[in-house]
Structure 1
Amino acid sequence: MESIRGRLAASCFTLAALVCLAGLLGWVLNYPPLRTTLVGFPSAWPPTLAANLVLAVTLVAASLPRALPRRRAAVVGSGVAAVALALLAMSMLSEQGGSPVSCLLILLLGITTQILFRSDRDGAPIAAMIAALVISFALLMLAGQILATEVRGGAVQPWHIPILTNVAELLLGLGLLLTATDRTLAEYRASGDERWPMPLRAVPALMVAPALVLAADLILFGSPEFPETTEIWGMLANTLIVGSVLLWAIARLTRQRSTLRMYAATLDAQPIVMTDRAGRIIHWSRGCADLFGFTAEEALGKVKAELLQTRPVEGVTEDALAADTSGVWRQRRWVETARDGGRVQVLEHAHEVEDREHGSVTVLSITDLGPMLRAQSAIAESDDCLLLAAEAHKIGIFEWDVASGKLTWFANTEPLLGVPLGTLTDYASWQEVVFPEDRDLMAKRLDAAVWSKADQISLSYRLRLPDGSIRAIEGSARCFYDEAGALIRTVGVNIDVTDRVQQTAQLAAREAQMRSILETVPSAMVVIDIHGRILSFSPAAERLFGHSANDVIGSNVSLLMNDEFGLRHDGFLAQYLRTGQRRIIGRPRMLTARHADGSEFPIELHVGEAVYQDNRVFTGFITDLSERLRNEEQLAQLSSELTQIGRINAMGELAAALAHEINQPLSAIANHIATAEVILESEQISDPLHERLFNQLRATREQALRAGEIIRRLRDFVARRDIDLRVEPVEAAIREASALVLVGAQRLDVSIDYDLAPEAPFMFADKIQIQQVLVNLMRNALEALRAIAADQRTIRVATRKLDGDRIEFSVSDNGPGLAKPILDRMFLPFNSSKGEGSMGIGLLICRRIVEAHGGKMSAENNEHGGATFRFTVPGGERTLGEY
């Protein structure tokens, strides 16, 4: 607090804190004079002293600038009130408690603090009233204590308050009263003015005047006995009445003063000058200082006409005055000079008033005409600009008076619509040149606008001029209605859009033609911008890529490419825009595109570039090469097969010749072995070596005969003879083929595992040819296992029953598997992974054998290494006679 009342209140709070501290020290030091100042009176109760001390310290801190927030002071006040309420109950229920009256005053002081610091000014009058009651009661108690001293012969009463507590509460109440009244009267005080009128300065004393009078009466003229209860209640009622009247009067004075200050500030902001009879300035408002630049100190006492170099406006005579019926008010336009030399044109209103000090005073209310003149100049300039714009854009500005039907054109803009001047003078002449169908449509629109009381109506119609030409007109108009809702006039614009309509029609025709071309052209078309975003997606592109135009427009074109090219596309585009070096534009490219389902297909891409209005786009025409490449591949494959067939035919002839030549020595070998068997049989020798030799000769003869049979079958196969289909046991055929493969291969340490399906014991096939297939597959497996450790080489031969009464054979190994290029061309002729030593026709012959049996042959790599070859043959059942 910086006011005198604030500093006085802070002093009261400080004194109260010192009194409470002295009482508490008396209890701590056990020094009775500090606990009670009058003999025979009760000592101050420590809890009440502590409560008063806490409240006093809080108020001292709150009175200091930025020492304690107001909300915290209010919280402390609430806490002290709660403690006082508890002490009051204790003092009334227990004889060891303190004075109930003292506890009640502490409760009121806490409530006052809470109300005062919770809000700024709204609770200040209420806090002032409660503080006045506390002071009045404390004064009355203090007077009673003085009256009851031994000097006056009185006796101490039970309601007497301990003197220290009484003084502390009196000081706290006085400080709170000063603080509350200071905040209540804060709005009355002018800015920077700390002085109040004398009646306002005495407000705190007047609020406690009834208690002061009663206390003085008790001390000076009263009896030793305390006054009656009625006198006490009367004093409190008088305090409330006086305080309420004072605060109500203060609030009213404050509102009036605030209103007057607002009016004065408002008037002071306006340019107002007061002059005496000699024309000297006796009042110069802040508005005048802002308008002319002269301060009040520079203007007061000067003649206004000389200070401002006042002169009439050119073209306006002094007779151009305006006055009211009494002839008192006058107004005149002047040109006056500001402090910086600038010219200010003003409208001055003069009014004569009488003043006690200066006699007749002229009050001059000045209006700056500068903004109005600038606005008029701006309007004129705007009209000129509007006319220029109307001429540039062929805009006719009109007003239609509905009652008279008259059409008025702003600045004769009627010819801007291609209409001769004076052609459209009223509504009837306008209807004569408007197309009948457009006239009916405009009439319906106008009726709908009037019915809905629309503020605006749009215009669109065609005019047929006398020379036979047709003009297309568009525009809008603002509608005005009377109180009854009837249309009285419209103001709007008409724009000649004939050229635009023709261009739009031509553009629409070209767009329709282009759309028709794009919808029928077989190549897909995609248009992108410099950021790679798709701008256009033709129907052919939708069919080719499987995307709809709505889904891809706005997306990056990379979604139509495979990963390899799509990730680099934006970089290629940025490099071209930076360097201008063309790589694709104007040159056909073979690329791989991506379908909506994720599949990839080959395309041929032609890219073109277009630049328009600082925009650059790229157009791509895309052709699907899948069908063409398939055709080319089929042609290449057919050519290759024809070549291979020639080679196979040649090989067939060679095989036939070899079979013929080899059959003769094989037959001779078989005959010689048979002869050796006969000789051995004729010799009755029981030597074990003789028996072994005989068995070996017999096995050799069987294999020689079997080799001859194979050669015969091969010759029959090459000669395209029918195969010898019979019901053969599956397991026997497999084990015979395995034994043939393992002859001379034991050194490879290969183990053969069999997994034969018991439900498929027989096959309907040529046993020799199927064994030829098995032998070829197992020998290929042996070759693959050479790269595997000896103790890990395994060949697995398995069969299983398939649907349709077919048997599937499979030969698997755990070798390194087949490379993908080999796997893709596995069954083509002269394709081998064994090097130059192999002709590469073994698997081809195997596939031909399987296909001749109506089966299929395939190959695949195993998941955990190695490869598996599969082929199918028909299954069979042996009859009882064949067992």
Structure 2
Amino acid sequence: MEQVRLLEAIIETAIDGIITIDNRGHIESLNPAALKLFGYTLEEVKGRNINMLMPEPDKSGHDGYLHRYQTTREKRIIGKGREVRGLRKNGSTFPFRLAVSEVQYDDRIIYTGFIHDLSKEKEAEERLREYAAELEELVEERTKSLRKTVRALSEAKEEVSLSLEKEKELNQMKSRFVSMASHEFRTPLSSVQLSSSLIEKYAQPFNNKNIIKHVGKIKNAVGNLTTILNDFLSLERLEAGIVEPAFISFDLVKLAEEVTEEMQMIAKQEQHIIYQHTGLESVTELDQNLIRNCMINLISNSIKYSGEHTFIEFNTEINEHECTIMVKDNGIGIPEADQKHLFQPFFRANNTGNIPGTGLGLNIVLRYATLMNGRLHFESVVNKETTFKLSFNR
């Protein structure tokens, strides 16, 4: 009797719904969770056909399904179950995962259905699809619209952090967003950037200032969008604690030359990136992807905060003691009062004005450098020059 009472208590307090029917499909019992899901009392459903809880076409086809099941006598438990829809008393429907088991009880066969409500999961998936659609439009609207979405994501994060369940849901959404954004946005952004460069090249014989002006706007917008996207992808991975440096030997000079060529494509008019390597060695052992990200972030900042017709110095050096990466520009500089806050996430110096940015790049560079046991040092004079230097012991 004690075991019976325990079993009844478990069924009565179960979070998921539990329904039992006889071999004719008539309802014998529903636990409180199932009654709440469908909006009925036990008296309203007991003895009636289970198809009253199903929308069409499942309602009409259920008796045939049950007959085929009994005819084939497939003795099995449907473990993971299948996704179906339920019909509430008020006429609304909802998705749930149904697992059915066949039970021999008192010389007769009953069927037990276990119901797990999928409404919240479907809502989360729908919200994710809505974000994806918004992001596609944001590519066309460029930086302005993307900022709006970023704010929406930040607001969503604050809302879901009110409870552990909502925090878990947000993490799932963010992971899906990171995966989607990584695959779906990089390729079209690269295509837009390449096409704008080709337009600029083919338009040179016409010497049309309007073409040059608008192509420059396209390149700047795509560059800003790419930087923002990369910053948020990097921050998400860092916050999730999934960034583990993979130390491998690679050619630092070759990597730096590739980054120089790539960043030159998004530089401003007559803005030149001058790369130089010091030392006889070119191979070092660090995480190549993290180093590449650091280079791109530092050079992107120099491009943004320096004017046209300027030079950006990009230097690497490998000696017997350390490996260093240095980026120097002659841009707007960093006010002394802001320098102590420079590496805080989302912080931007008060002289940046309308120059787009997330305030995440330097925070990401510092955290990547720390993961590789490196150091990040900078010096800056307002309206004169700024130098950032990464150092790694060998």
Query: What TM-score results when the alignment is normalised by the length of structure 1?
Result: 0.19
Query: What TM-score results when the alignment is normalised by the length of structure 2?
Result: 0.41
Query: Which has the higher Rg, Structure 1 or Structure 2?
Result: 1
